[in-house]
Amino acid sequence: MKILISVVDPDEAINALIGGADIIDIKDPSKGSLGAPDVLVLSLIKRVLPSGIVVSMALGDDPKDKRVMELTSIAERHAISYVKAGSLGLKDINDAINAYRNIKSWVRRAKPVAEAYADHYIAKCLSPMEILNAAYKSDFEVFMIDTLIKNGKSTFDYLNGRRLLEIKEKAHERGMLFALAGSLNLNHADEVSLIKPDIVGFRGAACNGNRVKGKVSKANVELLVKAYKHAL
């Protein structure tokens, strides 16, 4: 299980790396669950990271946003490993397939990630299984579940462990990696260990303070890495 830590600046990236993160995820949490980062910030973070570090980048919650094509080009120029696309605003599975196939056609080295929302019925988005099927038909390699509305509730407040395990198994049957996030913290380690996602992501739990104004600390990342690696 790989530990992904979302960061907003070079200092946070270094803290996450030293703390033991496997994947450094670059985004702007003030712009939403998958807020795309500023290009200058992306460049500065990439500059301080050693070569060979796996880096992901958010493309935004709406995969049909007019900036997504430009953002994928920026990701390619910066040798980003994964680009994460949300599912906000998708009308049906065909709409999702069209949006995701566009993203797939715009990347060469970066692997696209389709993100579904555990709170989809509140956010009026397509369900995780609908997004998983659309991602599979678009030749995506990674499927992720997160929460869109950041109100303190975690993915487990919307989907229980058994359902998440079923979805993970469906992703694996389709040859896709399964990633899990959504306001997870130290208290979720045992539940997550039963699901065994390929990737587990954090932002708020890695910060001193909240996910927007707080800062990722090395100590918090170390605690998460220890708890989640030990729980396996």
**What's at 214, amino acid-wise?**
G
Please answer whether residues 56 and 31 qualify as being in contact, where contact means their C-beta atoms are separated by less than 8 angstroms.
no
**Per the structure block, which two tokens stand in for 98?**
């069209």
**Per the structure block, which two tokens stand in for 191?**
């539940």
DSSP annotation string for 107-168: -SSSEEEEEEETTHHHHT---HHHHHHHHHHTT-SEEEEE-SS-SS--GGGTS-HHHHHHHH
**Per the structure block, which two tokens stand in for 216?**
């990722």
Angle between helices 93-106 and 128-137 (to 10 degrees): 50
Please name the residues in contact with 195: beta carbons below 8 A apart, sequence gap of 6 or more.
161, 164, 165, 168, 180
Please name the residues in contact with 2: beta carbons below 8 A apart, sequence gap of 6 or more.
22, 23, 54, 198, 199, 200
Give the burial class of 124: count Cβ atoms within 10 A of its Cβ; 0-12 exposed, 13-18 middle, 19 or more buried: exposed
Catalytic center residues:
27, 84
**Per the structure block, which two tokens stand in for 139?**
């030749």
